[in-house]
Chain A
Amino acid sequence: MSQQTSAVSGEDAATGGITKKGLSAGTVGLIGAVVIGISCIAPAYTLTAALGPTVSEVGFQVPAIILVGFIPMLLVAFGYRELNKAMPDSGTSFTWAARAFGPWVGWMAGWGLIAATILVLSNLAGIAVDFLFLLIDQIAGSPGTIAALAAEPGINVAVCLLFMLGATFVSYRDMQTTQKLQYVLVTFQVLVLLVFSIAAFVHVAGGTAFDASPIELSWFNPFAVGSVAAVVAGLSLSIFIFWGWDVTLTMNEETKDPERTPGRAATLTVVTIVVLYLLIALALLSFAGTGDGELGLGNPDIQDNVFFFLSGPILGPLAFLVSLAVLTSSASSLQSTFVGPARTLLAMGHYGALPKQFAAVSPRFFTPGFATVVAAVVASGFYAVMRFVSENVLWDTITALGMMICFYYGITAFACVWYFRKQWFDSVRSFLFTMLFPLVGGVILAVLFVITLRDSMAPDYGSGSNIAGVGLVFILGVTVILLGVAVMIWQAVKRPAFFRGETLSMDAPASLRRRPKNTTTGGGR
């Protein structure tokens, strides 16, 4: 037996190329990284979901909020990158926070990540359902009748569950499209968004816009919003639109040139995304204004899914292109998003923070099978319940999502600061990237989280859904966090080893000239 085991490990030495080859050093190039980045962010989906709620908070100042919202994300992403470099682990926030602050905080960070991704999964599927019906409607040429079916809760939930089932199947079996197809889809998405915004400007110039509003410089001025609460609400939404961008920055050893590719890819991705966002935001604002008329961006009836209502009036017969772009964008985002909670659940199972089944890898498809299915079931159940409880499910999930992102990104940022505490003053670089940037980012996110939580108690917050006079978003956020605490305590009773720090210990790499890799990587394994 011992001879056999050594044969296994002996293999590594004999064919040392395997490890490196397998860990895909050099498989992702610049374009590949940008494509993955853009398809993770899914700009077509993100904008249709977030633009309306953001307008309802800050009016014409959406461009300003988009620009400002990018700052905390950038700062936190720097922290992400440092942590990922020091401890690449599929548990990401969970593992990092546990290493920095211990098992309890780590557990809650993992919970926050899972909750946020489950929220976005249900929202993604919801948006996809709307656009599927709209697309059929547009192709069949039956104005409104088929698209209206999407509003029937029963049909909506049934189709949404089918979508989730499909996405689970695809994720479980790790079915990937070809690289070429993915490039085509991402290019298509970007082109459609460009055409969409140009068409809106043409309408504005030709005087056929719904509520032509000339672009003003004040749209870029966050101080023109007027109220701090509105800015905060807008920011917590715009956090969501950049969520996912950090994957380009954290792809290190996976890229062909780890020194340069991640930075360039992240820059290229974010420039593309910001330009797209600003263009669309400006185009739609000047086309439709912020009034609450039929097509006005201030109309609560269209705010949770603005492309759904505006693509027809702006593009006419070509509107189906927008539906197609949002559908494909949601579909690939659905798949890339599924990976997040599944991998975190897997890591939590592995370290004994959750039952062992979560650590199971499918022997045929090499995916975190059990965790994927659990994430899908919870997301489906959540969507089905919310569809009946909330007047405006998509809107409320997006707002709650922004809050959850602030929660776990914030913890992650602080984890970076605390984990590297002995290395802050090693160099200017480490002072900036392990201390100052993530600290500022974390503080901004923490403030956003607290203020959003407080404001969302008001019954008229966001979409105005409320239960017994308390805002639904607040109930959602608090329920999710308290549920996390409850499950955590339950797990702590059942599985005390993790909570005593036996499987994943706290650590702080010492101040050294050489990289902290040797002292940290794989420490918990």
Chain B
Amino acid sequence: MTVRIVVGYTATKAGRDAVAFASRLAAASAAELDIVLVLPAEGRSVITPPDAGYDRYLRDQADAWLAEAAARVPEGIAHREHARYADSFAEGLIDIAGELGAGLIVVGAADGSSRGRHRLGSTTTELLHSSDVPVVLVPRGARKVAPEVGISRLTVAVGLRPGAEALLDEAVALSTATGAPLRLLSLVTVDLPASVDTGVIRIAGAAHAEDVLAETRRALPAGVEAEAVTARGASIEEAVTHLDWQPGEVILVGSSRLAQPRRLFLGSTAAKMLHEIPVPMVVVPRTRTREEAGR
């Protein structure tokens, strides 16, 4: 079964970033795109009088925007466009992803982020706290990466906490689909303050990090290549800055253990990493639903 990728689209730079990256990913993994534009449901309007004429105008505008988005998808990638009404951007995307059985939701950075940077807006945050499928956060400027770059490497931020299995499954699935090699990453903060309760990546020291990586590699299915790196620094942010990133790289992180089963929750470590990472980040829920796990 072909994987379907839901792209949360707005007619902004962020939306074009999302479409560009999703196209690149779809081309690399033979997936299909579902470009979704979420319009506000009228039901939420309690002050402004509803106006069917304006709704119709908006609907036409949405179709025009979707046509523009469609025109940006390179040849050869199957894609469909949807205008969807929902109380919020996140709700609309999660619902449609559920209906279509999509494997990923791709969204762009919030407005106001600078080139090559992630920025979480309120809508993305809501998505990260409620989605039951992996969410890909695309940094600003991703649309300027040439489509030929493809997906060159998948970095997986590894931990041994619950959720790691789901993360590895997702990473292996993506690696198999795209043919991109894996890079297992362990973050080591030299001075671990008491407050850093990572959840996503739990590292108590360099030795432990090596153990984690070794164990993770053993857990990988046969035939999947993986290099392993340990990044050290006084803080998560600093540790991350020492890493090299390829233009076609993607990083995968697991959901915080604070998350509900099968729900996402961006942990503090992942949030910190997000500030420094210039490549798209896939946030994977703790446990997969059964049918997805069997995929």
Contact = CB atoms under 8 A, between A and B. Distances in A.
Nearest to A335: B47
Contacts of A177: 46-47
B51 A90 contact: yes
A237 B47 CA distance: 25
A115 to B, nearest CB: 20
Contacts of A428: none
A11 B43 contact: no
Interface stretch (A27-35, A135-143, A153-161): A27-35
Given A5-B70, A22-B41, A366 B48 contact: no
Given A8-B81, A252-B52, A182 B58 contact: no
Nearest to B49: A247
Interface in A1-60: 1, 4-5, 7-9, 11, 15, 18-19, 21-24, 27-28, 32, 35-36, 39-40
Interface in A328-375: 332, 335-336, 339, 343, 346-347, 350, 361, 363-364, 366
Given A174-B40, A364-B12, A24 B50 contact: yes
Task: Name the residue among A15, A18, A364 with the largest chain B CB count within 10 angstroms.
Answer: A364
A4 B46 contact: no
Contact of B85 (A7, A8, A21, A176): A21
Contact of A88 (B10, B53, B73, B83): B53
B10 A364 contact: yes
Contact of B42 (A23, A35, A88): A23
B85 A11 contact: no
Given A5-B67, A8-B70, A174-B40, A35 B46 contact: yes
A88 B80 CA distance: 30
A67 B49 CA distance: 25
Given A4-B67, A39-B47, A174-B40, A23 B52 contact: yes
A39 B85 CA distance: 25
Contacts of A306: none
Interface string B42-81: 1111111111111111111101011100110100000111
A178 interface: yes
A289 interface: no
B70 A7 contact: yes
A251 interface: yes
B49 A27 contact: no
A339 B45 CA distance: 12
A18 B84 CA distance: 7
B63 A9 contact: yes
A18 B83 contact: yes
Contacts of B49: 36, 40, 247, 251, 336, 339
Contacts of B59: 19, 22-23
Contacts of A182: 46-47
Contact of A364 (B45, B63, B111): B111
Contacts of B84: 18
Interface residues of A, number: 53
B285 interface: no
A478 to B, nearest CB: 31
A253 B52 CA distance: 7
Contacts of B53: 87-92, 95, 343, 347
B232 to A, nearest CB: 40
Contacts of A179: 44, 46
B45 A176 contact: yes
Residue in A1, A27, A251 with the greatest tally of chain B CB atoms within 10 Å: A27
Contacts of B80: 7, 11
B56 to A, nearest CB: 7
B46 A525 contact: no
A36 B84 CA distance: 25
Interface string B92-127: 000000000000000000010000000000000000
A87 B52 CA distance: 10
B39 interface: yes
A1 B51 CA distance: 33
A522 B60 CA distance: 11
Interface in A248-307: 251-254
B270 to A, nearest CB: 25
A87 B42 CA distance: 20
A165 B125 CA distance: 27
A176 B60 CA distance: 23
Contacts of B15: 363
Contacts of B51: 88, 90, 254, 339, 343
Contacts of A35: 46
Given A36-B46, A90-B54, A335-B48, A22 B70 contact: no
A9 B67 CA distance: 9
A523 to B, nearest CB: 13
A81 to B, nearest CB: 13
Closest 3 CB pairs of A and B: A24-B42, A363-B11, A90-B54
Given A4-B73, A7-B70, A36-B47, 13 more contacts: A4-B67, A28-B50, A36-B50, A88-B52, A88-B56, A90-B54, A174-B40, A182-B46, A251-B49, A252-B52, A343-B53, A363-B12, A364-B111
Interface of B: 10-12, 15, 39-61, 63, 65-67, 70-71, 73, 79-85, 111
18 contacts: A7-B79, A7-B80, A18-B82, A22-B41, A22-B42, A32-B46, A88-B56, A89-B53, A92-B53, A176-B48, A247-B49, A343-B51, A343-B54, A346-B57, A347-B53, A347-B57, A363-B10, A366-B40
